[in-house]
């Protein structure tokens, strides 16, 4: 699974983080989705909603073995960062995320972070895929804590 930004979100990732962190709209969130399989940049960057990601044969969500989607609201996100003028970039991070005791042999290849404008809507077609992160995890039944690092770094 490659690390990349989906075309639909390019140049807008920081805007979506800020919207969630600012609670605008109130039901907005970032959704972190564990992936059992994931494709390349070329296979995924043109997909415009998470329903399209799921429909693509190169990608599949890990929904077994204790893996669940994690919703990050304004409460979990750090205050909106200021630009890094020293390094001439804007880096935005999501917090560490813990998955409780996923079962052994239920590995993931990485995670996709989506923007959800309305968590009550509850459809994959409503999830805007922002970024794909190559972060493989081999499970052994213990808790898994991931740190995506810079969710996005614009320069």
Tens of pLDDT, residue by residue, the chain (155 residues): 999 999 999 989 989 999 999 999 999 999 999 999 999 999 999 999 999 999 999 999 999 999 999 999 999 998 878 888 998 988 888 899 999 999 999 999 999 999 999 988 779 999 999 999 999 999 999 999 998 777 787 76
Q: How far is CA 60 from the centre of its chain?
A: 14
Alpha helices in 25-105 (DSSP H): 41-44, 50-55
- Residue 148 structure tokens: 């995506």
pLDDT value of residue 119: 86
Longest dimension (CA), the chain: 44
Which uninterrupted H or E stretch holds 15? helix 13-21
For the chain, the C-alpha Rg in angstroms (whole number) is 15
Instruction: Give the predicted TM-score (pTM) of the model.
Output: 0.94
């Amino acid at each position: 699974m490659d690390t990349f930004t989906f075309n639909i979100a390019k140049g807008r990732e920081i805007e979506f983080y800020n919207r969630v962190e600012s609670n605008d709209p109130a039901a907005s969130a970032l959704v972190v989705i564990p992936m059992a399989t994931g494709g390349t940049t070329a296979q995924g960057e043109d997909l415009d909603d998470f329903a399209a990601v799921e429909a693509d044969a190169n990608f599949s969500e890990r929904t077994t073995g204790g893996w669940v989607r994690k919703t990050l609201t304004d409460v979990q996100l750090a205050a909106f960062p200021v630009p890094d003028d020293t390094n001439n970039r804007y880096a935005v991070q999501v917090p560490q995320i813990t998955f409780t005791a996923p079962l052994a042999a239920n590995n993931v290849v990485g995670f996709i972070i989506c923007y959800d404008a309305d968590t009550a809507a509850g459809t994959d077609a409503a999830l805007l895929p922002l970024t794909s992160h190559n972060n493989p995890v081999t499970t052994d039944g213990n808790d898994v804590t991931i740190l995506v690092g810079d969710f996005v770094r614009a320069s």
